[in-house]
């Protein structure tokens, strides 16, 4: 269907297509969305083609708070070289607080796939908790 529409001769008719011309070569937009604040920064060329883009999404804004929340959970649930039971649920709760994306929010609590690895400073894995 889409292919047929694109090949239709009148698709480029001036009543169908409006030609946009750049009025600036760089622009920034900020909007509030269900997941949080979105920042879009674009640079285009004289033909209106995007040459550079930087998007900052809610996850980026909330990253510090999410990391601190996970650290607090780790301080309570890491026992030497072992991860204690209950850590998966607590980390999941932190993620849900600061990154309420659709894929996270649609999982029933306690059913989100998650894997936590406890590693030594040399990268050797000491313990793993996982829920598929």
2-16, 43-57, 90-104: which is most confident:
43-57
Please report which helix (H) or strand (E) contains residue 115, including its range.
strand 114-119
Residues 70 and 96 in one domain: yes
Last residue of a domain, one of 9, 34, 56: 56
Instruction: Return phi, psi of residue 97, to 5°.
Output: -65, -40
Number of compact structural domains in the chain: 2
Own/partner pairs, 111-120, CB within 8 angstroms, 24+ separation:
114/88, 116/83, 116/87, 116/88, 116/91, 118/78, 118/81, 118/82, 118/83, 120/81
pLDDT in tens, 6-21: 888 887 777 776 677 8
The reply to whether 16 falls in a domain is no
Residue with tokens 């070569």: 25
Same domain, 37 and 95: no
- CA proximity to 98, closest of 120, 123, 70, 72: 70
11, part of any domain: no
Question: Based on the domain organization, do 67 and 47 belong to the same domain?
Answer: no
- Residue 75, domain extent: 59-131
| Co-location of 82 and 46 in the same domain | no
Q: Are 73 and 85 in contact (CB under 8 A)?
A: no
Q: What is the CA radius of gyration of the chain?
A: 23
CA dihedral 74, 79, 85, 86 (to 10 degrees): -30
How much of the chain exceeds pLDDT 70, in percent?
89
In this prediction the pTM is 0.60
Which of 56, 76, 107 represents a domain boundary (last residue)? 56
Rounded to the nearest integer, the mean pLDDT of the chain is 86
């Amino acid at each position: 269907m889409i292919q047929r529409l694109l090949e239709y001769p009148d698709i480029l008719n001036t009543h169908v297509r409006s030609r946009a011309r750049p009025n600036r070569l760089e622009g920034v937009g900020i909007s509030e969305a269900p997941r949080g604040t979105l920042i879009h920064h674009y640079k285009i060329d004289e033909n209106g083609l995007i040459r550079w883009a930087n998007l900052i999404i809610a996850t980026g804004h909330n990253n510090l708070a999410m990391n601190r929340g996970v650290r607090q959970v780790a301080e309570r649930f890491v026992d030497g070289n072992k991860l204690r039971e209950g850590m998966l649920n607590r980390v999941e709760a932190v993620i849900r607080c600061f990154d309420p994306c659709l894929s996270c929010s649609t999982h029933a609590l306690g059913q989100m796939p998650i894997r936590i690895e406890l590693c030594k400073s040399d990268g050797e894995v000491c313990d793993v908790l996982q829920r598929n």
